[in-house]
């Protein structure tokens, strides 16, 4: 935990949650015992609600080029005129942005 | 309720006996610490730490909790952002935790390095064993705490409300926290962790969503939208719609109800100092210009007149000299001339001629060079008509010179003629234009405006393509996907040529360049690029012409002088009005908390709050008689994120959808969703049997990790 040398950056020692869970080795224990991983909620069974990315209205339409959802023709005009940086940010809200690693 | 912090140092630390436990509610948003048995925590602050550098001394200082903006100017905060010890709802950074505990204990009044009181600290449900053990280690080793107990904050809250009578022995606790939301069923007063359900969406995500939406909509106000400000906005204005679809339809229709529900945030704005109406300004500018040109003209006049004077003087001098020369004797001429500086009489005469000419030019008399040219050409070109064989070589040379002069002067004349004709054309066009304008001013104006708009768009686009490589979203003709959008036609051609060149060569060896024809490739490429450059110039010239015309005619026209203005500036098309500084929250008011019920909106593929209750009840290991009915009758809402108006109704509607028809459903909000956890913990710690639930350092070392994993508090004492 504490490093003996002063001035050393200590924050790199800490494991993030994902690593903590990995180390826990929950698969070695009984499945009916609650642990951090198995109390998580399952994916939603309800039908997915599709709302327009820009305005929040109900969005039956989908733009294949930018893959944004939109509600009507005015919003579509807006979508096609915003620069691609904003498109990626709108998609990132939905966790659908293209992430280049 | 914006950020509250109570960080006054408490003075009565020593008055508490060593058996009195200290109760800590260690939440992802706030850290609350106090004494067991009391109703309110003594000290509470935001659970974040900042480590900026002091500007003058250079040392790194640790600031816990919310900072005082007035003090911050002493520190250089560029490399220190607020950091939290939490990752989701689990503590993982124990160094930061140590800073926070230091601060907490210190403000509680602890003066020694050891804290001699048992500590009850909260954690998340099913805390990973590593986090738990490290926390225990921290408390035991660094603070010398004699005994520690871990508890789930939602459970404490539930028990507290049960004591108050809000809920029963069997019930559900829906805890919506900062980073996560839990649903924990209680059977016989004890939480059933096997049936617990957790979704990783909480108040933090709601605030973040709101922040992103508003900054995307108002990019020029981004600097104003700090996370804290947005949290304030969220707490004040957000609500949960009882049915998202119908609410959104209201806004879509633009009803009056929607108008009422829209909130407008007016940013501080000072109107620019009273502008004079444009016409006056234009008149003023014109007057200034006039004055300037007048001044210039006067200066030119003065220069010209002084030059004329000089020339005249010179002329007079030369004439006088000539006259004197006539009077002087023949032999005295050289000596006389030597005085004045001229070599011979011809010299004087030629300079005289030159001076008279320049004088005439200065006086702006018409230099009849053109007319003089004609008779002189007639003389000069005498040799041209004589065929070659009759001339001597010298005369041939003369002839060639005359030919050359003739063609050039003819060319000049032709050019002048063309210019004249073009002038006539333009005059005609202008006259036509004027006639059109006079007969139908409105239509003319409209046409001109549309033309201007189209041209400006084209020019803008081309400029954007050229410089930025296309931020537009495929509006241009080349279209395409991904990389193709960024290259205009010329660049694509270039790439194509290069790749074909690269591929065509034989296997292994690159033979490009051995033959000379290969380099012709580059000629092709640059030609393409050049072609592209010339086209826009005409458009731009046209645009300039139209905009100048519009400026003359149309009083309301303001030209778009900066077609490439970045989105981060306010488009200064018109003087900034009050509306530019307003941030309007309409649909966002209920769209953001909606993610608690519908995490799909944010991309989190998990169940929402109402669905989670169903999942949780399904997971119950033992379903006794009527247990579920009893549970739905006492559903408690806890946690900071359940303060949204409309949450209880929405939850009730949601749960009714998944339970059998007619089950009694009652959703109650806890007496104080935020503080109840600490209060419950405090009541618990003050109970008599609490010490049995704690574990000491010895226990920890002897029994080891496995025991710690199975350690759970028993909540009914």
pLDDT in tens, B330-347: 666 666 666 666 667 777
SS3 B31: strand
CA atoms of B396 and B387, how far apart (whole Å):
10
Q: How far is CA B639 from the centre of its chain?
A: 33
- Cα–Cα distances (Å) from B3 to A42, B72, B77, B239, B589, in that order, read 33, 17, 20, 19, 20
SS3 B466: helix
Residues 30-89 of A with CB under 8 A from B: 32-36, 39-46, 48-49, 51, 55-58, 65-66, 71, 79-87, 89
Which run of H or of E encompasses B444?
helix B441-468
How much is the CA Rg of chain B, to the nearest whole Å? 45
Instruction: Decide if B88 touches A, using CB distance below 8 A.
Output: yes
Contact state of B602 with A21 under an 8 Å Cβ cutoff: no
Instruction: Decide if B93 touches A, using CB distance below 8 A.
Output: yes
Q: Among B378, B411, B441, give the residue marking a domain's end.
A: B441
CATH of the domain at B656: 3.90.640.10
pLDDT at residue A3 in the model = 42
- Asked whether residue B226 falls in the same domain as residue B125, the answer is no
How much is the CA Rg of chain A, to the nearest whole Å? 22
Question: Is there a domain that residue B279 lies in?
Answer: no
Which structural domain, as residue segments, surrounds residue B693? 13-47+85-156+674-710
Residues 6 or more apart in contact with residue B425 via CB below 8 angstroms: none
Contacts with B481 from chain A: Cβ below 8 Å: 65
Q: Is B555 exposed, middle or buried (0-12, 13-18, 19+ CB in 10 A)?
A: exposed
Closest in B130, B193, B604 to A23, CB measured:
B130
Token pair 């309110």 is found at B40
Residue pair B53/B75 in contact (Cβ under 8 Å)? The answer is yes
- Cα–Cα distances (Å) from B641 to A56, B144, B684, in that order, read 21, 35, 24
Residues 233-272 of B with CB under 8 A from A: 244-245, 248-249, 251-252
Which run of H or of E encompasses B422?
helix B393-439
- Asked whether residue B100 falls in the same domain as residue B121, the answer is yes
CA atoms of B488 and B469, how far apart (whole Å):
8
Q: Which residue of A has its CA nearest to B461?
A: A81
Helix, strand and coil in chain B, % to nearest 5: 55, 10, 30
CATH of the domain at B113: 3.30.420.40
- Asked whether residue B151 falls in the same domain as residue B23, the answer is yes
Question: Is there a domain that residue B525 lies in?
Answer: no
Structural tokens at position B281: 């300004």
- Cα–Cα distances (Å) from B626 to B440, B631, B663, in that order, read 84, 9, 10
Find, among B159, B121, B124, the residue nearest to B31 by Cα: B121
Question: Is there a domain that residue B540 lies in?
Answer: no
CA atoms of B566 and B463, how far apart (whole Å):
13
Question: Is there a domain that residue B239 lies in?
Answer: yes
Find, among B677, B136, B91, B182, the residue nearest to A34 by Cα: B182
Q: Which residue of B has its CA nearest to A3?
A: B95
CA atoms of B594 and B358, how far apart (whole Å):
88
Contacts with A21 from chain B: Cβ below 8 Å: 128
Contact state of A41 with B615 under an 8 Å Cβ cutoff: yes
Q: Which residue of A has its CA nearest to B248?
A: A57
C-alpha distance from A91 to closest chain B C-alpha (Å): 10
End-to-end CA distance of chain A: 31
Closest in B92, B603, B604 to A20, CB measured:
B92
Contacts with B471 from chain A: Cβ below 8 Å: 83-85
Question: Is there a domain that residue B380 lies in?
Answer: no
SS3 A101: coil
- Asked whether residue B293 falls in the same domain as residue B326, the answer is yes
Structural tokens at position B270: 């000072």
Phi, psi of B240 (to 5 degrees): -105, 125
Domain count, chain B: 4
C-alpha distance from B642 to closest chain A C-alpha (Å): 19
CA atoms of B203 and B201, how far apart (whole Å):
7
Which of B123, B150, B197, B603 best probes binding to A when mutated, by most A CB atoms within 10 angstroms?
A: B603
C-alpha distance from B607 to closest chain A C-alpha (Å): 4
- Parallel/antiparallel/unpaired status of strands B181-187 and B171-176: antiparallel
> What is the number of other CB atoms lying within 10 angstroms of the CB of residue B205?
21
- Asked whether residue B661 falls in the same domain as residue B678, the answer is no
Sign of CA dihedral B81, B86, B89, B92: positive
C-alpha distance from B124 to closest chain A C-alpha (Å): 9
Which of B607, B708, B709 best probes binding to A when mutated, by most A CB atoms within 10 angstroms?
A: B607
> What is the number of other CB atoms lying within 10 angstroms of the CB of residue B480?
14
Which run of H or of E encompasses B183?
strand B181-187
User: What is the mean predicted confidence (pLDDT) over A30-48?
Assistant: 84
- Asked whether residue B307 falls in the same domain as residue B293, the answer is yes
Residue pair B445/B555 in contact (Cβ under 8 Å)? The answer is no
Residue pair B531/B523 in contact (Cβ under 8 Å)? The answer is no
Phi, psi of B178 (to 5 degrees): -80, -45
Question: Is there a domain that residue B161 lies in?
Answer: no
C-alpha distance from A61 to closest chain B C-alpha (Å): 15
C-alpha distance from B615 to closest chain A C-alpha (Å): 8
Find, among B497, B483, B491, B496, the residue nearest to B462 by Cα: B491
- Cα–Cα distances (Å) from B238 to A32, B325, B588, B603, B675, in that order, read 39, 106, 8, 21, 21
pLDDT digits (tens, 9 = 90+) for A75-94: 899 888 888 888 888 888 88
- Asked whether residue B132 falls in the same domain as residue B260, the answer is no
Phi, psi of B176 (to 5 degrees): -110, 105
Within 13 Å and on the Cβ side, how many CA atoms surround B42? Answer: 23
CA atoms of A17 and B91, how far apart (whole Å):
8
- Asked whether residue B294 falls in the same domain as residue B424, the answer is no
Token pair 């609410």 is found at B247
Spans of chain B, pLDDT less than 70: 1-3, 67, 271-278, 329-343, 364-391, 464-488, 503-512, 525-537, 552-579
- Asked whether residue B152 falls in the same domain as residue B34, the answer is yes
- Asked whether residue B133 falls in the same domain as residue B243, the answer is no
Q: Among B414, B441, B468, give the residue marking a domain's end.
A: B441
Q: Could you give the angle at which helices B333-340 and B278-327 cross, rounded to 10 degrees?
A: 160
Instruction: Decide if A3 touches B, using CB distance below 8 A.
Output: no
CA atoms of B561 and B566, how far apart (whole Å):
13
Residue pair B701/B42 in contact (Cβ under 8 Å)? The answer is no
CA atoms of B182 and B178, how far apart (whole Å):
11
- Asked whether residue B341 falls in the same domain as residue B292, the answer is yes
Residue pair B627/B192 in contact (Cβ under 8 Å)? The answer is no
Find, among B10, B20, B18, the residue nearest to B686 by Cα: B20
Q: 3-class secondary structure for B628-690?
A: HHHHHHCEEEECHHHHCCCHHHHHHHHHHHHCCCCCCCCEEECCCCCCHHHHHHHHHHHCCCH
Find, among B203, B117, B180, B189, the residue nearest to B156 by Cα: B189
Question: Is there a domain that residue B350 lies in?
Answer: yes
Question: Is there a domain that residue B113 lies in?
Answer: yes
Which of A4, A15, A39, A63 best probes binding to B when mutated, by most B CB atoms within 10 angstroms?
A: A39
Contacts with B611 from chain A: Cβ below 8 Å: 41, 44-46
- Parallel/antiparallel/unpaired status of strands B63-64 and B582-585: unpaired
Structural tokens at position B226: 């700090």
Contact state of B131 with A33 under an 8 Å Cβ cutoff: no
- Asked whether residue B230 falls in the same domain as residue B341, the answer is no
DSSP string across B474-526 = S-STT--STHHHHS-HHHHHHHHHHHHHHHHSPSSS--TTSSGGGGHHHHHHH
CA atoms of B695 and B83, how far apart (whole Å):
30
pLDDT at residue B388 in the model = 66
CA atoms of B26 and B93, how far apart (whole Å):
13
Contact state of B196 with A17 under an 8 Å Cβ cutoff: no
- Parallel/antiparallel/unpaired status of strands B635-638 and B171-176: parallel
CA atoms of A62 and B340, how far apart (whole Å):
95
Structural tokens at position B49: 């730490």
Find, among B666, B605, B603, the residue nearest to B632 by Cα: B666
pLDDT at residue B56 in the model = 78
Report the phi/psi class of residue A25: left, alpha or beta, with left for phi > 0 and alpha for psi in -120 to 50. Answer: left
Residue pair B609/B181 in contact (Cβ under 8 Å)? The answer is yes
Beta bridge partners of B668: B636
H helix count then E strand count, chain A = 3, 2
Beta bridge partners of A40: B198
pLDDT digits (tens, 9 = 90+) for B429-482: 888 878 877 777 777 777 877 887 888 888 777 776 665 544 444 444 443 344
- Parallel/antiparallel/unpaired status of strands B667-669 and B635-638: parallel
């Amino acid at each position: 935990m504490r490093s003996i040398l002063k001035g050393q950056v200590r924050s790199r020692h800490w494991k993030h949650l994902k690593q903590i869970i990995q180390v826990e080795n929950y698969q070695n224990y009984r499945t009916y015992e609650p642990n951090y991983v198995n109390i998580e909620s399952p994916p939603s069974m309800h039908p997915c609600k599709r709302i327009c990315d820009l305005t929040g209205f109900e969005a039956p339409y989908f733009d294949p080029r930018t893959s944004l959802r939109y509600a009507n023709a005015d919003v579509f005009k807006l979508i096609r005129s915003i620069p691609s940086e904003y498109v990626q940010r709108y998609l990132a809200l939905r966790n659908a942005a293209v992430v280049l690693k | 309720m914006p950020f509250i912090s109570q960080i006054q140092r408490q003075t009565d630390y020593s008055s508490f006996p060593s058996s009195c436990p200290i109760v800590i509610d260690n939440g992802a948003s706030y850290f609350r610490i106090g004494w067991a048995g009391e109703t309110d925590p003594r000290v509470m602050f935001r659970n974040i730490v900042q480590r900026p550098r002091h500007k003058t001394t250079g040392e790194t200082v640790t600031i816990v909790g919310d900072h005082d903006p007035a003090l911050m100017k002493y520190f250089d905060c560029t490399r220190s952002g607020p950091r939290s010890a939490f990752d989701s709802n689990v503590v993982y950074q124990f160094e930061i935790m140590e800073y926070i505990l230091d601060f907490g204990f210190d403000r509680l009044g602890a003066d020694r390095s050891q804290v001699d009181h048992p500590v009850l600290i909260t954690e998340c449900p099913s805390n990973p064993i590593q986090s738990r053990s490290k926390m225990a280690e921290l408390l035991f080793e660094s603070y010398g705490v004699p005994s520690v107990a871990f508890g789930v904050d939602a459970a404490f809250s539930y028990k507290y409300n049960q004591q108050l009578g809000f809920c029963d022995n069997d019930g559900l606790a829906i805890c919506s926290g900062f980073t996560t939301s839990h649903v924990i069923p209680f059977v016989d007063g004890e939480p059933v962790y096997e049936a617990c359900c957790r979704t990783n969406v909480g108040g933090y995500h709601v605030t973040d969503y709101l922040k992103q939406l508003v900054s995307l909509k108002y990019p020029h106000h981004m600097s104003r939208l700090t996370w804290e400000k947005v949290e304030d906005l969220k707490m004040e204005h957000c609500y949960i719609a009882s049915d998202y679809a119908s609410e959104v339809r209201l806004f879509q229709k633009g009803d009056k109800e929607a108008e009422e529900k829209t909130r407008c945030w007016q940013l501080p704005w000072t109107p620019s100092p009273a502008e004079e109406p444009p016409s006056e300004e234009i008149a003023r500018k014109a007057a200034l210009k006039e004055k300037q040109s007048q001044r210039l003209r006067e200066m030119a006049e003065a220069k010209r007149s002084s030059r004329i004077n000089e020339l005249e003087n010179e002329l007079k001098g030369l004439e006088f000299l000539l006259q004197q020369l006539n009077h002087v004797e023949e032999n005295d001429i050289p000596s006389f001339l030597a005085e004045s500086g001229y070599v011979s009489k011809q010299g004087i005469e030629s300079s005289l001629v030159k001076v008279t000419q320049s004088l005439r030019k200065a006086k702006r008399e018409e230099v009849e060079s053109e007319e003089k040219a004609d008779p002189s050409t007639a003389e000069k070109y005498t040799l041209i008509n004589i065929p070659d064989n009759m001339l001597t070589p010298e005369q041939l040379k003369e002839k060639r010179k005359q030919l050359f002069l003739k063609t050039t002067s003819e060319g000049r004349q032709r050019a002048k003629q063309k210019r004249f004709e073009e002038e006539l054309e333009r005059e005609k066009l202008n006259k036509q234009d004027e006639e059109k304008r006079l007969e139908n001013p409105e239509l003319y104006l409209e046409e001109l405006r549309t033309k201007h708009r189209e041209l400006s768009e084209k020019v803008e686009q081309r400029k954007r393509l050229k410089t930025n490589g296309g931020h537009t979203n495929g509006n241009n003709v080349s279209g395409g996907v991904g990389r193709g959008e960024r290259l205009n036609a010329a660049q694509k051609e270039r790439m194509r040529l290069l790749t074909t060149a690269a591929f065509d060569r034989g296997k292994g060896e690159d033979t490009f360049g051995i033959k000379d024809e290969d380099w012709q490739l580059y000629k092709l490429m640059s030609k393409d690029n050049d072609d592209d450059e010339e086209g826009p110039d005409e458009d731009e010239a046209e645009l300039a012409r139209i905009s100048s015309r519009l400026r003359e005619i149309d009083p309301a026209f303001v030209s778009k002088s900066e077609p490439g203005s970045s989105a981060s500036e306010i488009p200064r098309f018109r003087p900034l009005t009050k509306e530019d500084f307003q941030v309007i929250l309409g649909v966002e008011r209920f769209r953001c908390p909606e993610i608690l019920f519908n995490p799909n909106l944010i991309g989190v593929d998990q169940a929402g709050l109402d669905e989670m209750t169903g999942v949780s009840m399904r997971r119950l290991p033992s379903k006794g008689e009527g247990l579920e009915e009893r549970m739905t009758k006492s559903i408690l809402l806890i946690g900071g994120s359940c303060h949204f108006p409309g949450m209880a109704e929405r939850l009730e509607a949601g749960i009714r959808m998944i339970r059998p028809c007619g089950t009694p459903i009652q959703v109650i909000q806890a007496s104080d969703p935020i503080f109840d956890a600490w209060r419950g913990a405090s009541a618990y710690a003050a109970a008599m049997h609490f010490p049995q639930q704690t574990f000491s350092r010895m226990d920890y070392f002897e029994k080891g990790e496995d025991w710690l994993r199975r350690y759970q508090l028993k909540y009914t004492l």
